[in-house]
Amino acid sequence: MLARAWTDRRIRHLREMAGVAGKSAGEPVIASMGSTAPPNVEEPFFIRDHIVCDGAQVTRPSIDPYREPVSTYVYLPGLGIRLSQPLILTVYPEYPPPVARAFVRAAYNHGLLVYIRGRRLEDYVGGYAERILADISYLGAAGGFWTVSDSLDTHPQILLQPSKASHEYVSSAGFQNVCGVIVDEDAYGSDTPIEVSVSLLDRTLKQRGLRDRVALIASSRHVRGSDDIFKLVGLGADAVSIGDAAVIAADCLEHQLDEDTIYERVENLILAIQKEVKLLAGAAGVSRIFSTLVGNRELFRSIGLRSDLRLMLGVKQAGVG
Amino acid sequence: MRIEHIRALARFGRPVWVWDKAKFGSRRILDRVRFRAELEEPGAEPSGGCDADVSTRLAYGEIEMTSPLYLGDMSFGALSGIPNIALARTADLTGILTGTGEGGLYEEVRRYRRITVQWASARFGVDIDVLNAGMAVVIKIGQGAKPGIGGHLPGVKVTKPISDTRRIPVGMDAISPAPHHDIYSIEDLGQRIMAIKEATGKPVFVKVGVTNYISYIACGVARMGADGIIMDGQGAGTGAAPAVVRDNVGLPIEVAVPVVDRALRREGLRDGFSVVAAGRVSSAEDAAKLIALGADCVSIGTAALIGMGCIMVHKCHLGFCPAVLTNKIEESPRRLLSLETATRWSVNLVRGWAEELREIMERVGVSTLDSLISRRELLVGEGLDPEDAELLGVGLASEGMDR
User: For residue range B348-379, what is the model confidence (pLDDT) as tens digits?
Assistant: 999 999 999 999 999 999 999 999 999 999 99
Residues 6+ apart with CB under 8 A from B344: none
| Residue A165 Cα to chain centre, angstroms | 19
Disruptive mutation site among A9, A27, A29, A32 for chain B (greatest number of B CBs within 10 Å): A32
- What is residue A295's predicted lDDT score, i.e. its pLDDT? 95
Identity at A25, one-letter amino acid code: A
Residues of B in contact with A59 (CB under 8 A): 185-186, 213, 216-217, 220
**Vertex A287 angle, CA A230 and A133, to 5°:** 50
Identity at A55, one-letter amino acid code: G
| Cα distance between residue B394 and residue B373, in whole Å | 14
Residue A77, min C-alpha distance to chain B (Å): 29
Residue B218, min C-alpha distance to chain A (Å): 10
| Cα distance between residue B251 and residue B247, in whole Å | 11
pLDDT tens, N- to C-terminus, chain A (321 residues): 467 889 999 999 999 999 999 989 999 999 999 999 999 899 999 999 999 999 998 888 899 999 999 999 999 988 889 999 999 999 999 999 999 999 999 999 999 999 999 887 766 677 888 899 988 887 654 567 888 988 888 888 999 999 999 888 888 877 888 999 999 999 999 999 999 999 999 999 999 999 999 999 999 999 999 999 999 999 999 999 999 999 999 999 888 899 999 999 999 999 999 999 999 999 999 999 999 999 999 999 999 999 999 999 999 999 997
Q: Which domains does chain A have, with CATH numbers?
A: 3-317 (3.20.20.70)
| Cα distance between residue B70 and residue B152, in whole Å | 22
CB A133 within 8 A of CB A114: yes
Query: Is there a domain that residue B216 lies in?
Result: yes
| Cα distance between residue B257 and residue B302, in whole Å | 20
Measured in degrees and rounded to the nearest 5, phi and psi for residue A141 equal: -75, -40
Residues 6+ apart with CB under 8 A from A132: A104, A113, A114, A115, A116, A121, A124, A125, A145, A146
Disruptive mutation site among A46, A54, A62, A308 for chain B (greatest number of B CBs within 10 Å): A62
Q: With an 8 Å Cβ cutoff, are A30 and B317 in contact?
A: yes
B113: buried, middle or exposed (CB in 10 Å: 19+, 13-18, 0-12)? exposed
Residues 6+ apart with CB under 8 A from A238: A74, A75, A76, A77, A86, A215, A216, A217, A290, A294
Q: Closest residue of A to B316, CA-based?
A: A32
Residue B367, min C-alpha distance to chain A (Å): 30
Strand partners, A301: A52, A316
CB B290 within 8 A of CB B253: yes
Q: With an 8 Å Cβ cutoff, are A58 and B387 in contact?
A: no
Confidence of residue B403 (pLDDT cuts 50, 70, 90): very low
**CB of A40 within 8 Å of any CB in chain B?**
yes
**CB of A130 within 8 Å of any CB in chain B?**
no
Q: With an 8 Å Cβ cutoff, are B241 and A28 in contact?
A: no
Identity at A34, one-letter amino acid code: G
Strand partners, A155: none
Q: Closest residue of A to B310, CA-based?
A: A33
Residues of A in contact with B220 (CB under 8 A): 58-59
Query: Is there a domain that residue B37 lies in?
Result: yes
Interface size between A and B, measured as CB pairs under 8 A: 206
Q: With an 8 Å Cβ cutoff, are B243 and A13 in contact?
A: yes
| Cα distance between residue B318 and residue B305, in whole Å | 17
Task: Mark which residues 152-171 of A lie under 8 Å from B by CB.
Answer: none
Q: Closest residue of B to A58, CA-based?
A: B185
Nearest to A71 by CA among A294, A288, A306: A288
CB B252 within 8 A of CB B279: yes
| Cα distance between residue A238 and residue A83, in whole Å | 10
Task: Mark which residues 215-254 of B lie under 8 Å from A by CB.
Answer: 215-217, 220-221, 234-252
Residues 6+ apart with CB under 8 A from A297: A199, A234, A235, A236, A313, A314, A315
Disruptive mutation site among A9, A16, A30, A57 for chain B (greatest number of B CBs within 10 Å): A57
- What is residue B369's predicted lDDT score, i.e. its pLDDT? 95
Q: With an 8 Å Cβ cutoff, are B148 and A39 in contact?
A: no
CB A51 within 8 A of CB A233: no
Q: Closest residue of A to B190, CA-based?
A: A58
Confidence of residue B25 (pLDDT cuts 50, 70, 90): confident
| Cα distance between residue A54 and residue B11, in whole Å | 39
CB B56 within 8 A of CB B360: no
- ipTM comes to 0.94
Residues of A in contact with B259 (CB under 8 A): 319, 321
Smallest Cβ distance to B243: which of A29, A63, A299?
A: A29
Residue A207, min C-alpha distance to chain B (Å): 27
The highest-confidence range among B99-103, B379-383, B397-401, by mean pLDDT, is B379-383
> Is B367 strand, coil or helix?
coil
Query: Is there a domain that residue B200 lies in?
Result: yes
Whether the predicted pLDDT of B49 surpasses 60:
yes
Q: With an 8 Å Cβ cutoff, are A58 and B250 in contact?
A: no
Query: Is there a domain that residue B403 lies in?
Result: no
Between A8-18 and A259-283, two packed helices, what is the crossing angle to 10 degrees?
110
Strand partners, A134: A116, A147
Residues of A in contact with B387 (CB under 8 A): 307, 317
Between B253-266 and B284-293, two packed helices, what is the crossing angle to 10 degrees?
30
Residue-wise pLDDT for B252-281, tens only, equals 999 999 999 999 999 999 999 999 999 999
**Vertex A82 angle, CA A81 and A88, to 5°:** 90
Query: Is there a domain that residue B402 lies in?
Result: no
Query: Is there a domain that residue B248 lies in?
Result: yes
CB A50 within 8 A of CB A304: yes
Ramachandran region, residue B272 (left: φ > 0; alpha: ψ -120 to 50; beta: rest): left
Query: Is there a domain that residue B92 lies in?
Result: yes
Residues of A in contact with B383 (CB under 8 A): none
| Cα distance between residue B74 and residue B207, in whole Å | 13
Quote the number of domains for chain B: 1
**CB of B316 within 8 Å of any CB in chain A?**
yes
Nearest to B307 by CA among B287, B282, B327, B285: B282
Residue-wise pLDDT for B163-211, tens only, equals 888 888 999 999 999 999 999 999 999 999 999 999 999 999 999 999 9
- What is residue A143's predicted lDDT score, i.e. its pLDDT? 66
Query: Is there a domain that residue B315 lies in?
Result: yes
Residue B230, min C-alpha distance to chain A (Å): 13
Residues of A in contact with B243 (CB under 8 A): 13, 28-31
Q: With an 8 Å Cβ cutoff, are B249 and A284 in contact?
A: yes
- What is residue A273's predicted lDDT score, i.e. its pLDDT? 98
Task: Mark which residues 2-21 of A lie under 8 Å from B by CB.
Answer: 13
The CATH number assigned to the domain holding B297 equals 3.20.20.70
Taking all residues of chain B, what is their mean pLDDT, rounded to a whole number? 92
Q: What is the mean pLDDT of residues B386-399?
A: 88
- What is residue A167's predicted lDDT score, i.e. its pLDDT? 87
- List, as one string, the DSSP characters of A282-317: HHTT-SBIIIIITT-GGGEEESS--HHHHHHHT-EE
Q: With an 8 Å Cβ cutoff, are B248 and A64 in contact?
A: no
Residues of B in contact with A282 (CB under 8 A): 148-149, 178
Residue A197, min C-alpha distance to chain B (Å): 22
Q: How far apart are the first and last CA of chain A?
A: 34
- What is residue B165's predicted lDDT score, i.e. its pLDDT? 82
**CB of B385 within 8 Å of any CB in chain A?**
yes
| Cα distance between residue B110 and residue B104, in whole Å | 10
CB A215 within 8 A of CB A78: yes
Q: Can you give the residue range of the structural domain that contains B367?
A: 2-396
B400: buried, middle or exposed (CB in 10 Å: 19+, 13-18, 0-12)? exposed
| Cα distance between residue A8 and residue A57, in whole Å | 32
- What is residue B401's predicted lDDT score, i.e. its pLDDT? 44
As a three-state string, the secondary structure of A165-218 is CCCHHHHCHHHHHCCEEEEECCCCCCCCCHHHHHHHHHHHHHHCCCHHHCEEEE
Residue-wise pLDDT for B284-302, tens only, equals 999 999 999 999 999 999 9
> Is B136 strand, coil or helix?
strand
Which H or E run includes A89? strand A87-91
Residues 6+ apart with CB under 8 A from B227: B58, B59, B60, B62, B136, B203, B204, B205, B272, B273, B274
CB B175 within 8 A of CB B151: yes
